[in-house]
Amino acid sequence: MTGATTRSFAIGETDFLLDGEPFRVLSGALHYFRVHPGQWADRIRKARLMGLNTIETYVAWNAHEPVRGEWDATGWNDLGAFLDLVAAEGMHAIVRPGPYICAEWHNGGLPVWLTALEGVGLRRSEPTYLAEVTAYLERVYEIVVPRQIDRGGPVILVQIENEYGAYGDDTAYLEHLVKVTTDAGITVPLTTIDQPTDQMLSDGSVAGVHLTGSFGSRAAERLATLRRHQPTGPLMCAEFWDGWFDWWGSHHHTTSAADSAAELDALLAAGASVNFYMVHGGTNFGLTNGANHKGRYLPIVTSYDYDAPLDERGDPTEKFFAFRDVIAKYAPVPDEVPAPSGPAPQFEVALSAVAAGVEASVTRHDTPPTFEDLGHLSALVSYEADLGGRAGVLRFGEVRDQAWVSVDGVSVGTLSRTRHEDALVVPAGERVRVLVEEQGRVNYDSRLGEPKGLIGGVTLDGEPLSGWTATAVDVAVLGAAVTDAAPPAMPNAGVAPFVLRGSFALESATDLFLDSTGWGKGYALVNGFLLGRYWSSGPQRTLYVPAAALRAGENVLVLIELDRVVAQTARFVAEPDLGPLEE
């Protein structure tokens, strides 16, 4: 940031102060890890055109360090480049590094290796956890410190933890995070965020750190509660919930633009600052979706459209214009507005079943190992054991999260964690195979870091079944191998995964929508880029294909299907279909 003009940002008696003058933060959440880097600048610019002056982002620890000690801040993880683009657009930035972020993101942002450490105490003053968190935050702050506003950069606020009052009350833990943050050189104001209840605000606060709230309705009431706990300084709704997320098996969630705009008006009329959650949701590309579990396991869909002001493609929605009109009552907005993209190209692609091109290692175990035991970060593990000609009830302690069971290469049924299934009858045969899919890790509360795979013992008619092999299948590697070199065509195998490949030509790179109607359950890749999961369970019926992942000329589509292959044709359609709304 050498040569940039330094400025000041502080918390005054009643307002945020930018260079000593009252300043209202008008911010929008935009997660760099949910948007293709080639489209960061476009989304940032469109947020500014809505009237915003600030961009907020979480930092996803598990995106930066999926393997312990292997830190990555390049490409999709280049937080510094993202913040530099915010600055280039003339906007400020808020950074929320967690370490826990929730965000409907895989494991709440915590790395699987961390949550699997023996004896680790998550989100509290436990030595192993604190040591790892300290190292993580120091790496993040190496990026953030030189980009603070008083050093010529865009960053004006840094958040400590995330809605901690909904989880615990370990003040010493929060004090440790504050010390790590200030010792690293963070000089801009620090904040916490909690839902505006007396208990949560009390448990989630820490001395010397400014409190903010998270809510999407009853603004006057929630601000009054926040003010009781934060008697001086500016009021801020640091997560103004302007939409909601979807999970497989439900409907597509939307909220009223008019109602949200009215709440925004009340918020701004009270003099408060705001951060829209989300201004642009983006996509849970790859295998990054989280899951809910409040008595029933519900994995999050691939789209994180969130019914936000900028949709998954980055186009302005009704909310964009409704919010822009409200903001214009309190602050200047640009004259320019973003134009919608129009229909995407529509065409079909012939697919051929092909042989999987990746050799996977096979390990032997007395009982089925977990994904964590195998050190496996992808979504599939195939377990096999000898039946010795026996038939009966095959029962598992728990299946996390979905299993396809076959005997001697013939499918005999499925088991679903969501449906609380843990047993099925298998016919007499020599060998049983159980293909298990990890569908997304729970992103909140006590289920953070729970192991995946076949949990507990396995019995056949009440007798332990031992002597298992485990084959870890890396979905991204499998898809990329088939992309790079077309393997020979082959008839459909008897059991999943079924791999299909096709190619299509484009005159130029452009956003596309891949229609999953009629398919079962699986993954789609374009040019080796893992778009994410599809599932006939819905509600989502299309996968967003960003233009930045495509190219002029030939492009390769690969499907990895787990349920069935009905039609060997893929369709690209003009518009997204995120599913039916609640009636």
User: What residues act catalytically?
Assistant: 163, 239
The answer to whether 50 and 320 have CB atoms below 8 angstroms apart is yes
Cis peptide before 37 (omega within 30 of 0): no
Query: Residue written as tokens 């079944």?
Result: 465
Helix (H) or strand (E) holding 480: helix 475-484
β-pair partners for 151: none
The answer to whether 385 and 405 have CB atoms below 8 angstroms apart is no
The answer to whether 241 and 23 have CB atoms below 8 angstroms apart is no
Distances from the Cα of 40 to the Cαs of 46, 62, 95, 507, in angstroms? Answer: 10, 20, 16, 23
Q: Is 306 exposed, middle or buried (0-12, 13-18, 19+ CB in 10 A)?
A: buried
What DSSP line would sit under 2-35, residue for residue? TTPPP--EEE-SSSEEETTEEE--EEEEE-GGGS
Q: Give every CB contact of residue 166 below 8 A, 6+ residues apart in sequence.
A: 194, 195, 200, 204
Instruction: Please give the Cα distance from 108 to 377 (Å, whole number).
Output: 15
SS3 content of the chain, % helix, strand, coil (to 5): 25, 30, 45
Strands 92-96 and 155-159: parallel
Other Cβ atoms closer than 10 A to 466: 13
Output the furthest CA–CA distance in the chain (Å, rounded): 81
Instruction: Please give the Cα distance from 358 to 374 (Å, whole number).
Output: 18
Distance of CA 100 to the CA centre of its chain: 12
DSSP three-state, residue 183: helix
Instruction: Please give the Cα distance from 271 to 487 (Å, whole number).
Output: 62
